[in-house]
Amino acid sequence: MKITAIVNNMTQDTKELAIVKQQSTKAYQAAEGLIIKTSEDMNVATDILSKIKTVQKLIKEKKESLTKPLNEALKNARALFAPIEDSAERAESIIKQKMVAYQVEEDKKVKIEEKKIMDRVERKTMTGNTALKKLDEIETPENTVETKFGGKAQFKEMAKMVIVNEKEVEDKYWVINEVALRADTLSAYKEGRELPKGVKVELEKKVSGYSK
């Protein structure tokens, strides 16, 4: 479905949406104003809950009548551009890797030359003034490269963390896998097995509503 058709449907559904909104408002007001003190009040609450579930169903249907075509259009657009974007991203990654590899190699050469000069200074086979002059003469790779065609690339050194020994990392930096812990805890509870250490199970009462 084209975007224009979707927009037209949205305009057409405005009146129906207003009705659903009105029903939702009434359901909220009924829930807000109800006080449950007797079994009769509980019956009223059950009827209100049932109506709320009906309103929620209508809201979902109306929302999906608009979002499903939009999502389908978005899915098709992504599918159309995905291989093109992937090719461009891989090309960028390849050229950057080659540029960084060259720059790193050039940096190594500079450090080797610098070390040779400093070694001669330590061995006193070269004076300090001569060493400074030769250090200045070493050709170092440019951090910014600009071409006559307007191309520009800039090299930066970014700090990154590397874990060298997991056992020495402090406890405060470890994150609990709550998804796995919850699954194991509830599974152990249902099967009557011992719970994982450091957790307990609390029973929380909830109510489910059903629409006609």
If pLDDT is split at 50, 70 and 90, which confidence band does 140 have? confident
Q: Percent helix, strand and coil across the chain, each rounded to 5?
A: 70, 5, 30
Model pTM score: 0.61
30-85, pLDDT tens digit by residue? 999 999 999 999 999 999 999 899 889 988 988 898 899 999 999 999 999 999 99
Identify the DSSP state of 176: -
The structure tokens listed for 60 are 């979902």
The greatest distance separating any two alpha carbons of the chain, rounded to the nearest whole angstrom, comes to 104
148-181, pLDDT tens digit by residue? 899 999 998 888 899 999 999 999 999 999 999 9
Identify the DSSP state of 166: G
pLDDT at position 193 is: 95
